[in-house]
Every structure is written in structure tokens, then in C-alpha cells.
Structure 1
Amino acid sequence: MAEGATPPRIDCRMPAEWEPHESTWLAWPHHRDDWPGKFEPIPWVYAEIIRHLSRHERVDLIVNDAASEKQARKVLERANASSENIRFHRWPTDRIWTRDSGCTFVKCGAGAAARENRGGHDSSRARNDASFTLSSRAKRDPSLANDPAQSVFSTEPYSLFAIKWHFNAWAKYPNFQRDEKIGSHMAHATHARKVRPLFGKQRVVLEGGSIDVNGRGTLLTTEECLLSK
């Protein structure tokens, strides 16, 4: 794309959590300071979570290295949670909060929007150089006020995009360089097109745990959790 050219409009949608999905992303616990004096049972709690999840969908499990994977497999086996539905990724992390440090997956293209909500979802502009510029919201469709559980979603083809937010460890911890790379690793592993949100020339920080969406254009958050000074 020539410099200064208007990027093409791409309609995208972030699905709601209750919609069917292929996988849940987790990272195996290792940073003891996140549970001061209470770390010992935490791996077993994660094993129980994985045991239930892997019965219904794939679990993409991030581990620091081969030794961490071996330890995780040992706990999972002892907890009767070992499954072929678990896919390991050896990516070093500072902490394990993948909802905050990981990317946000969105569906873009003809099959991205809910059938009952054509034209009512957000529109964004993407550049070929994998940057992402925030655009104005599309006008709301009155059907957005309906119960989202009643919506019927399109089965048309779509492209998977990975929104790679900038992660700065909640502006609280100095060690976040490994976690800042996790979203890029996730995008590569899923063959999703990575886009990086920009506001002007600045990277946008957004922890995934600070928002919730219904998949039809409504987003919930709080000023205290999301907005900076």
C-alpha cells in the first residue's frame, strides 16, 4: 500500500465468551510471588481446571521450558488431567495472566458479524504493515438491546485477526518483557494476522481482563480498571 493511501475497511467482531470456540489459552503457574505463602496447591488447581476444559475443547498450555513442561505433565497425570487435547507451547513468561498479556482474537470479514446485527458492529481500519488505527464506532443497531444469547451467528468464511496490545505489566512491575511477547507468539501459533493498535503514534495498552463483550457491539469496562491518567 502506498504511503498516505486510505487503508481498506475491514469489519471485525470480538466474539462473546459464551460462543463456541476452539481453545482456551492458559500458562502453567510458576511465579510464586503471585501467591505469597500459598503457591503449593496452585498447580493442582490449574490441573483441575485443565481436566474439565480438555473434555470439551483444546487447551493451549504455555510453559517456560522443557523442565516446566515435564513438571506440568507430571501434575496433570497425577490429577487424571492428562489429555491429548492439551497442546504445549514452550514460551518463557514473567507471569501467567494470559488474559491480560495475550492477544485478543477477532473475526474479520464476511462471516464476522452476527446475522441479526449486520451493520451494528464496530468497524476498524487495518493497514498492510500490521498496524491498527482506532476508528469511530458505527451507528448502533437497535437489535443490540436484545438478549445476546438469542443471536444466531453467521457461518460464512472469516479471517482470524490477533489484536496485539502493548503489555506493560499493569504499569506496576519492571519485569514484563517476556509477557509482552506472548500475544505475538499466540498469533503466530494460530496463523492469525497480527495487528498492533495505535493511538496516533503510540501503542495502545489494554489488558484483556479489563473488558467484557457480548459479541454484538457492546463492551463493558470500568474507568478505574481501564483508563490511565
Structure 2
Amino acid sequence: MRNMQHFSPTDPTPQALGFVMPPEWAPHAATWLSWPADNDLWFGHLEAVRTEFAALVRTIARFEPVQLLVRDAESRQDAAERLSGADVTSHDVPLNDVWIRDNGPLFVTRGSEVSLINWRFNAWGGKFEWHEDDQVPEYVARTLDAAHWDLPVVLEGGALELNGAGVALTTRSCLLTDTRNLGLSAEQYADWLRAYLGIDRLLWLGAGLENDHTDGHIDTITRFTDERTIVTSVDEDPSDPNHAVMAANLAALRGMTDLDGQPFRIVELPLPVRRLEGAEGRLPPTYANFYIGNGFVAVPQYGDPNDARALEVLTPLFPGREVIGLNSRAIIEGGGSFHCVTQQQPAGTVWTGR
């Protein structure tokens, strides 16, 4: 927990220098991931998780280079064997877990220049060990020789969804928890995100999925697919606790507008039909946790009757990209899926500040 009442952005901020965070569908130089390594964290499912990870990494590597963090010699060897022949570069880095969307850097661009922001990470309010993972942005910055900003604010990448035109979505249930930034208001968050990511309008939904240990990350429920199109999860079972929450989010989205005052196009995306239980209760499977890369979109699949429907909904929203369903039944045991375990590095020349 970090008391943020007396912190404020200082110049020169990325916004002052012309840097903004691009949307995920902008061209990538690479995708960063962390290799799963702890069987206890995966509740005994590590072998199955690594099998699914390998399929995801190989899929990404067909379209763009992969930068893979490995925490020990066993992980390096295991990844090397499973990913032989793929366009993957490994890096030996101390790690607690694999959720690089949240503990990794957020990249910003200025024309063809690329830099990054090092936000603080505390494992979603201190729920797990995090001190090694909090060092990942500094490792990435050193590896790229990137000038960057180090900030006192706790922020996870999965808590934000940007359209690349000045608008971002988030949830109150996540960002406004006192276990992240004690005393930081919605208005102050908007100031930080404007100054460091170039977000001019921050739109708030209420909450996310039941038993999501991130406190309701936006990337598990609602995503932009282009500047003006939002795909949002719906639960078709009125008896499910997710039903009312998703319906409230849908209604709120229908009343939101872009910077020009125009309503967004809203597309409904079903949640999986089957309720999945894990070692710590209900799991939060979702198709909204897809990852957009160069020429492809990787969509999680769970062996659920709605798997095919989700692909049917998403495919026309990504013209020119191959929409690929991949198994995530084991990965979801850890509480997240493909978007949670990936972090895109935008294409461009790394800004060294010189």
C-alpha cells in the first residue's frame, strides 16, 4: 500500500515531450513474456500450463519476435526444448510469476521513437510475492538501453484498455482499491494517466468478473478492437453473479462517447457457459483476454460450448488479422490468460534520451 495523497506528476512528462501509449494493434517490434516455473503457483498444473504456453509462444513467434524471461536454469532448458526453432530470445531474470502485462513496462511512442514507463507493481494489492517481478521494467529498460520514467504509482497494464485516440477504459473495483495507491482519487488517476500515457479521457466501468484476484481488470471483460469499437463480455445466465455486473457495464458503455462526443460501437461477447472451479474457488475464464499482434489475434479457448461463438464474434472485428483460438484451460488456473501473460513492444527506434 502506498499513500499517494502528496504525489503529483513532475515535468518533463512523456506527454510534455510528445510521447503517448499506442494501441495494441499498432505494429510491434516484439512481444515480451515470462516462462512459467513454479508448480505450486499453478496448483500442480505446471506441465499442462507449459504445454499451453509453448503453443502461445510459437503462435506469436510466427508473426513477430518473442523476448522470453526465464527465472532459472531449469526454466531456460525447458523453454528451449519446447520452443526449439521458434523466433525466441531468452533472458535470465529473477521472477516471481508470469503476469508481465501487469508487472512489465508500459511502452510509449513519439513518432518512430519508443520509450517506456516503470510503474510500481505490488501483486494486485499484496496478494502474492512481487518484489522480483517489480524489477522487470528496469531489466527491460537496461536491455533496450531505453531512457524511461520511474514512477511511484502502482499500476497494472491489465487495468487499462486504450483506443489509441485519447480514450481509455478501466474499472473502479480495481484502480480505487486502497491496497494499491492509498488516497489516490479517480481525478488524480486521470491526471497521472494523461501526463504519462497521453490519455485524455478515462472512462470508468464498475467491476469485473467474480473471484478475479486482480479486483476486476478491464482486460478480462471489455476491450477496444479499433478506435471506435468496443467488445464487452455478457453473461447470458440471469442466475450467475456475473450477469448483473456485465449488464451494468454494457449499459454504461452504451452511454459513453469518444473525444468528439460520438458513441462507440458496442459488440457483445459471450462468457463461457460452464462454471470452472480451481483450487481457490471459481475461475474467471473469458474470451476478452485475447492478445493482438502483428497480423494475428490469439483468443483463449476452454473446451466450452461458447468457444466457437467467441471466435465468430471476434473474427470480423479484426480484418486483415488471423484470429486464432488456442487452449487456455490450464493457464486460467492461475487466474488469467493470453493478454495477462503478454506485453507488446511497439515498433520503432528506442529513445535513449540523448
Aligned to 2:148: 194
3-state secondary structure, aligned to 2:119:
coil
Instruction: Report 1:18-29 matches (<5 A).
Output: 18-29=25-36
Alpha-carbon deviation of 1:49?
0.5
Structure 1 position 228 matched with structure 2 position 177: yes
Instruction: Name the counterpart of 2:97.
Output: 95
1:218 CA displacement: 0.7
Q: 1:174, CA displacement in angstroms?
A: 5.3
Distance of 1:175 and 1:34 partners within structure 2: 11
Question: Structure 2 matches for 1:201-212, cutoff 5 A?
Answer: 203-212=152-161
Aligned partner of 1:215 in structure 2 is 164
Q: Does 1:47 align with 2:54?
A: yes
Secondary structure in structure 2 of the residue aligned to 1:105: strand
1:69 alignment counterpart: 76
Give the distance between the partners of 1:227 and 1:12, measured in 2 at CA.
Answer: 26
Structure 1 SS opposite 2:140: helix
Instruction: Report the Cα distance in structure 2 between the residues aligned to 1:76 and 1:42, rounded to whole angstroms.
Output: 14
Distance apart, 1:167 and its partner CA: 0.8
TM-score for the superposition, normalised by structure 1: 0.68
Unpaired segments ≥5 residues, structure 1: 112-156, 198-202
Report deviation, 1:6.
6.1
| Partners of 1:184 and 1:194 within 8 A in 2 | no
Are 1:183 and 2:190 counterparts? Answer: no
SS state at 1:163 partner? strand
Q: Which has the higher strand share?
A: 2
Q: Which amino acid aligns with 1:27?
A: S
Change (3 A) 1:6 1:55: closer
What aligned pairs does 1:96-111 form with structure 2 within 5 A after superposition?
Answer: 96-108=98-110, 111=111
Which residue in the other structure is 1:14 paired with?
A: 21
* Residue 215 (structure 1) shift: 1.4
* Separation in 1, partners of 2:21, 2:93: 25
Cα-Cα RMSD = 1.8
Q: Distance in 2 between the 1:7 and 1:169 partners?
A: 29
Change over 3 Å in CA distance of 1:6–1:48 after alignment to 2: closer
| Deviation string, structure 1 residues 67-105 (Cα, Å, up to 9, x no partner) | 32112111223xxxx32x211110010111001000101
Between the aligned residues of both structures, percent identity stands at 37
Runs of 4 or more above 6 Å deviation: none
Q: 1:34 offset after TM fit, Å?
A: 3.3
Match of 1:125 in 2: none
Pairwise CA distance, 1:36: 1.4
Residue 189 of structure 1 and its aligned partner are, at CA, apart by 1.4
Distance 1:204 1:212 in 2: 18
Q: Give yes or no for contact 1:13–1:216 (8 Å, CA) kept in 2.
A: no
Corresponding residue number in structure 2 for 1:30: 37
More displaced 10-residue stretch of structure 1: 55-64 or 167-176: 167-176
1:212 partner amino acid: E
Question: How many pairs were matched up?
Answer: 167
**Which residue identity does 2:125 align to in structure 1?**
A
| Runs of 5+ consecutive residues of structure 2 not aligned to the other structure | 1-9, 179-354
**Match for residue 122 of structure 1?**
none
Q: What residue identity is the alignment partner of 2:39?
A: R
Q: Output the CA distance in 2 between the equivalents of 1:167 and 1:211.
A: 14
CA shift for structure 1 position 222 = 0.5
**Does the CA-based 8 Å contact 1:164-1:194 persist in structure 2?**
yes
